[in-house]
Chain A
Amino acid sequence: MAAAQAVEEMRSRVVLEEFGVRNVHTTDFPGNYSGYDDAWDQDRFEKNFRVDVVHMDENSLEFDMVGIDAAIANAFRRILLAEVPTMAVEKVLVYNNTSIVQDEILAHRLGLIPIHADPRLFEYRNQGEEEGTEIDTLQFRLQVRCTRNPHAAKDSSDPNELYVNHKVYTRHMTWVPLGNQADLFPEGTIRPVHDDILIAQLRPGQEIDLLMQCVKGIGKKVARVANPRLDTFSREVFRNEKLKKVVRLARVRDHYIFSVESTGVLPPEVLVSEAIKVLMGKCRRFLDELDAVQMD
């Protein structure tokens, strides 16, 4: 009886003890346990698998995935963080920058701004192509000049009163449609997600005048297009002397709680769907490779 229970626990629970964690790795592979048939069975998986949405709003989503292994759940998490494509500024053509912020710092900051454009409507840019075409590039113009406010009070020291345009926000970015983009995207849909992100600060006489080109990319190659955040559990109970002996903490091995927060470009449920499709695309790519190799 006890042996059977111990085996069950080893197979299905990750145990958290005071000084460490036990049974971390998945062990239910064929041949490891006598009496269990652990070969992959798609029907058994489909019967046991379920998804429960706990909470959803326009920027965050919390759901549970039950009946799936850590390897695959982790693959989805990694893809959500780094491989779901988005549009982000990659090239900045600086015509004039007399601000205190150096060109490269300014360009780096611009690259981190999330751009509200559905990346599924764009193609990847081919390597080595200098000019962007309308199918793979979005252009934005940022032109701000700071001047002194002639109507300010003589003894005022508040920069908001003394200067005009001294803070450069994302709302100063204007979209420059290329080719037929003006017909495809209605006015106001292509913009930065938030219009109150502070890009730089200026003083009278300083000016920023630049052109930004956004392309489609994934976090792996361009480490700024990251979209969502994911989350985890407390062992505090082990600090309490009396509770220590009575409490046993264990986690169910195949129950995962996902908490996805989007930067606002795509709704979080679309992000998760795209992440699953990215993993399918990877498998398909290698299956095609295999077919090609076998045909040779």
Chain B
Amino acid sequence: MEEDQELERKISGLKTQMAEGERKTALEMVQAAGTDRHCVTFVLHEEDHTLGNSLRYMIMKNPEVEFCGYTTTHPSESKINLRIQTRGALPAVEPFQRGLTELMNVCQHVLDKFEASIKEYKDHKAGRKESTF
């Protein structure tokens, strides 16, 4: 019992250590001199087209966004540059945050629908098996 507790404490300690190390490099924001906060380039480390394209789609669906595009800097480097320009004076961080939240909601909904569909298929198959006896 005591050994298990010790193991749990050790794991949580290691996890936060790793999280702190990663925090410093996962996301950067670059802004050109002279512009205000409505044009920003976000550098996302350890990411590629998987998140880049889907996030770009969600952000483009926002009517306040004038421009959104992403690019992989070089195939050997695993990071993407995501640029957002908004109409008017809306700070670019806002559509970025909204895009992430909306993408999360889409995934949650897809997950729910998918699991419901799988369950329905399994029940239907089980029902059919029973009825053949």
Contact = CB atoms under 8 A, between A and B. Distances in A.
Given A51-B110, A71-B56, A272-B114, A287 B100 contact: yes
Contact of B61 (A30, A276, A290): A30
B113 A290 contact: no
Nearest to A258: B114
B61 A38 contact: yes
Interface string B26-64: 110100000000000000100111110111111011110
A123 B53 CA distance: 29
Contacts of B58: 40
Interface in A270-290: 272-273, 276-277, 279-280, 282-287, 289-290
B63 A39 contact: yes
A53 B113 CA distance: 11
B50 to A, nearest CB: 4
Interface residues of A, number: 51
A49 interface: yes
A126 interface: yes
A279 B7 contact: no
A279 B113 contact: no
Interface residues of B, number: 51
Nearest to B107: A280
A135 interface: yes
A135, A273, A289: which has the most chain B beta carbons within 10 Å?
Answer: A289
A214 interface: no
B27 A286 contact: yes
B110 A68 contact: yes
Interface in A65-111: 65, 68-69, 71-72, 74-76, 78-79, 83
Contacts of A283: 51, 55, 100-101, 103-104, 107
Given A78-B49, A123-B11, A282-B47, A72 B57 contact: yes
Contacts of A180: 3
Contacts, number: 130
Given A273-B115, A286-B26, A280 B104 contact: yes
A68 B11 CA distance: 39
Nearest to A40: B61
Contact of B118 (A126, A269, A282): A269
A29 interface: yes
Contacts of A238: none
Closest 3 CB pairs of A and B: A40-B61, A71-B57, A30-B63
5 contacts: A29-B60, A31-B63, A50-B117, A72-B54, A280-B107
